[in-house]
Amino acid sequence: MVRYTESEIIVANAAREIEDNDIVVIGQGIPMAAGVLAKATHAPNCIILTEAGLVGIDPFRNPLHIADPTCSQGYDYSCDMIDVFATITHRGLVDVTFLGVGEIDRFGNMNSTVFGDYDDFRMRMMGAGGAPEFFGYARKAVLTMRGGRFVTKLDYCSSPGYLEGYGAREKAGFPPGSGPKVVYGTKGVFRFEEESCEIYLDGLFPGNAVEEVLAEVPWDLKVAPDLRKLPAPTQEEVDLIREFAPEISAGRKLQLELSIPRILQIIAGRSEG
């Protein structure tokens, strides 16, 4: 029997969104762990890049951010952010992009800028960053949502999903077939209906019930008739994730708890001479 954490099953499932020979744009955290896992298992020929201009990376440990030294020892092509967008992303060469979600609506439009009124906000998130263009021009966007929420109307639209629904995205000039394809939440996985472009619950992670998910969505969320129970990671996958990114395995809360002694040691100062 494989024993795994909440994050590990998400990473293992998200990794399966990457196929061999895909060009993949990735940010730090769960997406990076998923990318590295995919490359180490079923997609050895995928090319991972970050918008910092690092193309063909092979990080040796979980990076803090997309430009850090774990990503930049041994890579194929050193370019800059303009190159990554204009000559790779906008040309339709990105197969998969992973993005984090603050707020998402029924048609996969996404907010990562601000909660509440723009000027009289409740909270400022990290900002749009690379999301609008990756979301717009990658063949497939895979979203991860931890602490995010479903809303009927976004407070601010940072990145375009299927806009007002079926056909709107193509009409607006986005590449045919592009757009958000899947959302990895903490309880389950959501996909988009082809005919309506509306999001639906496609599968649950073990230990979660449909009702719990429905309670988090402020509309009558569609549920797949053959709701899947998402597969547990294999022992190989669990081992690979723990080898590369033990922090991700632990999850945010435990990670913080485990790093406190080290932090206290440093603050105490001069303890190591």
Partner 1 sequence: MLEKYMNEDKRMTAKEAIERFVSDGDSLVIGNCLYATPYALLHEVIRQGKKGLTVFQQGGIDELDQLLLGKCVSRLVLAYNFRVAGERIETTLERALRSGEVEIEDYSNYTLLTMLQAGAMGYPFLPVMNGIRDTDLFRVERIFKGQKFGEVECPFTGEKVVVVRGRNPDVAVVHVQRADRFGNAQLWGALINTKWACLASKRVIVSCEQLVDEDTIRRTPDLTVVPGFRVCAVVEEPWGAHPAEILGFYDYDMIFRTLFFMQTMTEEGGSAWMDEWVHGVEDRQAYLQHYADRFGMKYLSDLKARPYTSIPADYGATGRRAWDENDVSFNFQMTRGEFLEALEEKGGLTDG
Indicate whether 71 belongs to the interface with partner 1 (CB under 8 A): yes
Options 21, 44, 76, 78; binder of partner 1; rule CB under 8 A: 78
CA torsion, points 6, 11, 14, 20, in degrees to nearest 10?
A: -160
Task: Select from 6-14, 31-39, 226-234, 256-264 the region that touches partner 1 (CB under 8 A).
Answer: 256-264
Residues 13-32 that bind partner 1 (CB under 8 A): none
Options 6, 115, 216, 255; binder of partner 1; rule CB under 8 A: 115
Indicate whether 248 belongs to the interface with partner 1 (CB under 8 A): no
145 burial type by CB count under 10 A (0-12 exposed, 13-18 middle, 19+ buried): buried
What residue type is 158 in one-letter code? S
Task: Select from 5-13, 15-23, 44-52, 217-225 the region that touches partner 1 (CB under 8 A).
Answer: 44-52
Letters for 160-189 (x = contact with partner 1 by CB under 8 A, - = none) are x--x--------xxx---------------
Tell me the three-class secondary structure of 23-84, residue by residue: EEECCCCHHHHHHHHHHHCCCCCCEEEECCCEECCCCCCCCCCCCCCCCCCCCCEECCHHHH
- Among 91, 184, 178, CA closest to 145: 184
Q: How many CB atoms lie within 10 A of CB 205?
A: 18
CB 71 within 8 A of CB 25: no
Alpha helix ranges (H) inside 87-130:
none
Options 31, 53, 180, 203; binder of partner 1; rule CB under 8 A: 53
Indicate whether 2 belongs to the interface with partner 1 (CB under 8 A): no
Q: What are phi and psi of 28, to 5 degrees?
A: -70, 165
Instruction: Identify the helix (H) or strand (E) that includes residue 183.
Output: strand 180-184
Question: How near is the Cβ of 79 to partner 1 at its closest, in Å?
Answer: 7
Number of residues that bind partner 1 (CB under 8 A): 61
Indicate whether 130 belongs to the interface with partner 1 (CB under 8 A): yes
Indicate whether 253 belongs to the interface with partner 1 (CB under 8 A): no
Nearer to partner 1, 3 or 253 (CB): 253
Place of tokens 């009702």: 211
Indicate whether 255 belongs to the interface with partner 1 (CB under 8 A): no
Give the DSSP letter of residue 128. -
Nearer to partner 1, 57 or 217 (CB): 57
- The CA distances from residue 146 to 41, 149, 182, 213, 263, in Å, are 25, 8, 14, 13, 25
Options 2, 40, 93, 128; binder of partner 1; rule CB under 8 A: 128
Options 20, 42, 69, 258; binder of partner 1; rule CB under 8 A: 69
Residues that bind partner 1 in the complex, under the rule CB under 8 A: 50-54, 64-69, 71-74, 78-82, 85-86, 90, 113, 115, 118, 121-133, 136-137, 147, 156-160, 163, 172-174, 259, 262-263, 266-267, 269-273
